[in-house]
Amino acid sequence: MRDRRDRSGWLLLAPTWLLLGVFFLAPLTLTLVLSFRQRGVYGGLKPVENLGGYVASGAFLSNYSRSLQEIYLGIGWRSLWMALLTTALTLVIGYPVAYVLALRTPRRWKDLLLGLVVVPFWTSFLIRTYAWMFLLRTEGLLNHLLLGAGLRDRPLEILYTELAVMIGLVYGELPFMILPLYASLEKLDRTLLEAAADLGAGRGSVFRRVTIPLTSPGIAAGIVLVFIPSLGQFVVSDLLGGARSMLLGNLIQNQLSVARNHPFGAALAFELMAAVLLLLLAYALYMKRKGEEVLL
Amino acid sequence: MDAVSLDIRRGELFSLLGPSGCGKTTLLRMVGGLEAPTAGTIRIAGTDVTRVPPHRRPAHMVFQQYALFPHLTVAENVAFGLRYKMDVPRAAHAAKVREALALVRLAGLEKRLPHQLSGGQRQRVALARALVLEPQVLLLDEPLAALDPQLREEVQVELKHLQRTLGITFLFVTHDREEALGMSDRVAVMRRGRVEQVGTPAEIFERPATRFAAEFLGAANFFPAEVAGIAGDGRFLVRPEKLRLCAGRSEDSGMSAVPVTVEERIYQGIGTTWIVRGGGGEKFVVWEQNAVSALDEPPAFHPGGPAFLCWNPRHAVWMKEEE
């Protein structure tokens, strides 16, 4: 009896395993193997004649050692800083928005305003980023308004700078910060805020000692949701950034397309993934310690 | 909230009693500063606090669901408000917390989180958290409503005892008449944002000022004025336990009596409830304590049979007809 139930349990899980195997595990394994190989003379792959010798010589790690060269490390650091800055800015902008939306907005306005946060998703991210080009470029809307209003006599040169990339990243990731923050602020028991005020805490104190700690799961989720995609971003930096604002995402994309060095691109992708996995692990451990559900 | 005027004395346990939606909680929150009155003033110990924000009022609240901070331990919850009290040095905080927890018999649970406590323990943490700040007024919003019925009676006694030893004014909101009668020094009966009557528990129970107060505080029988031979626009109130079933009019001189028909006898162990009908079909309820075992003395009246409803005229309360 028990035996049969055990076996049927495995059977029920089979579709999941199949799905994960075909769409997740297999491509990942292929990428990993690819990252150990080397580019052929005309792109493609250099054949491995003697597998034992290839492994023993350590040549299979050459892509990884190459990624540690100064030029690539520089790109890595810049990507990290841009992602961190994006995360920090979306948090600073998103928290007040989510707070007002969750706690200070009358019920009948809530759905509408929350809808406005989500509306951008209805248009392709690529098109929205193009729209920023039109807003920011030298003859764009922003400069048109600034010059027209007489606020400046020379147009601002924003497009194709790191500032433009930053604006694009923050714009794109903001909803992913606002939504989890909103969810945790909405859940917040308002009588706890009243209790804190009743016990003598002023507004700032209530915020610091009650609101922030009790919404920390939302903050953590928002950080993870924003940091990970901005670390691998390449559309924004490609369209809005100049030649010097290449990010890790652009580098990988470049290796896979223009440079036709698939093994190196695969190695870079794996390194990025390892960093992301570490962060997710840290997040899961943090949530578990808090006794909260892990959302991702 | 409509033209409410209340004077609460220092050191008394004052209850606001009324059905849900009568404004008792709103009134309590106004005293705590969590809601602002559109007109009128609130004074605590002579000081006008109407425009003082909640965190600067000498009144602290025990919330209905206790509102303990879930991310803080018991000790941290109790210590929460201490840092805002300038007259308590930081070094004295730990001792204050210990003292407050001992007062509510929670010593030893300092390190627990709220979700690791029982309902009764949570309630006592909420109490300690407010009491440690030595408020002039403690506001309690139905503090017993979330407790088991068995626990409720025990906590009633404990709260009353605490209030008497500390000498702090307790302003207590409840919809439970037994709670209000059993604990309070004085009670305000509220209805639809108005105060119907203020008085000691015995006053509001025995001499209710309005029909609503009479019925909210317990079962009530109303007799038409003619019964007592009085002309006037109103009725008499006699509570069920003040009524008796008698065999005849002349049994006891000075008693009022009306002929009735017994409809139902409900034996409840500790007492018996009789439901009877008057000549005009009006229903009355009589409650009689079973001072003698029903096995020794079979009931003198039976459903369907005749009887007289007797009462001492002193226990009848004249109530003028309300608009």
| Min distance B55 CA to chain A CA atoms (Å) | 4
Interval A10-17 mean pLDDT = 89
Could you read off the pLDDT of B179-217 as tens digits, one per residue?
999 999 999 999 999 999 999 999 999 999 999 999 999
Is the pLDDT score of B278 beyond 70? yes
Predicted confidence at residue A2, as pLDDT, reads 53
| Separation CA A181–CA A219 (nearest Å) | 6
Interval A244-259 mean pLDDT = 89
For chain A, domain boundaries: 75-290
- Which of A195, A197, A213 lies at the smallest CB-CB distance from B71? A213
Q: Is B310 within 8 Å of B244 (Cβ atoms)?
A: yes
Q: Is A225 within 8 Å of A180 (Cβ atoms)?
A: yes
Residue of B nearest to A203 (CA): B55
Is the pLDDT score of A13 beyond 60? yes
Is the pLDDT score of A1 beyond 50? no
Tally A–B CB contacts below 8 A: 56
Q: Which residues contact A3 (CB under 8 A, 6 or more apart)?
A: none
Predicted confidence at residue A74, as pLDDT, reads 93
| Separation CA A227–CA A16 (nearest Å) | 28
- Quote the tokens at residue A96: 């007040």
CB contact under 8 A, B61 and A195: yes
Instruction: Give the start-end residues of each E strand in chain A.
Output: none
pLDDT, averaged across chain A: 90
**SS percent in chain B: helix, strand, coil, step 5:** 30, 25, 45
**Chain B residues with beta carbon closer than 8 angstroms to that of A193:** none
| Separation CA B28–CA B26 (nearest Å) | 5
Q: Which residues contact B50 (CB under 8 A, 6 or more apart)?
A: B36, B37, B40, B41, B42
B229: left (phi over 0), alpha (psi -120 to 50) or beta: left
- Which of B53, B65, B129 lies at the smallest CB-CB distance from A199? B129
- Quote the tokens at residue A54: 């290839």
Predicted confidence at residue A5, as pLDDT, reads 59
| Min distance B30 CA to chain A CA atoms (Å) | 12
B34, B55, B77, best to mutate vs chain A, most A CBs in 10 Å: B55
Q: Which residues contact B20 (CB under 8 A, 6 or more apart)?
A: B175
Residue of A nearest to B80 (CA): A199
| Separation CA B248–CA A93 (nearest Å) | 85
Q: How far is CA A64 from CA A52, A73, A125, A254, in A?
A: 19, 12, 32, 17
CB contact under 8 A, B67 and A210: no
CB contact under 8 A, A198 and B84: no
Could you read off the pLDDT of A152-199 as tens digits, one per residue?
888 888 899 989 999 999 999 999 999 999 999 999 999 999 999 999
Residue in A118, A113, A78 with CA at minimum distance from that of residue A245: A78
- Which of A192, A205, A209 lies at the smallest CB-CB distance from B67? A192
Is the pLDDT score of B251 beyond 80? no
**Chain A residues with beta carbon closer than 8 angstroms to that of B133:** 199-200
- Which of B56, B67, B71 lies at the smallest CB-CB distance from A195? B67
Residue of B nearest to A195 (CA): B67
Pairing of strands B317-320, B234-238: antiparallel
CB contact under 8 A, B61 and A202: no
For residue A109, the number of C-alpha atoms closer than 13 Å in the C-beta half-sphere is 7
Architecture of A75-290 per CATH? Orthogonal Bundle (1.10)
Confidence of residue B228 (pLDDT cuts 50, 70, 90): low
Interval B220-236 mean pLDDT = 77
Is the pLDDT score of B323 beyond 80? no
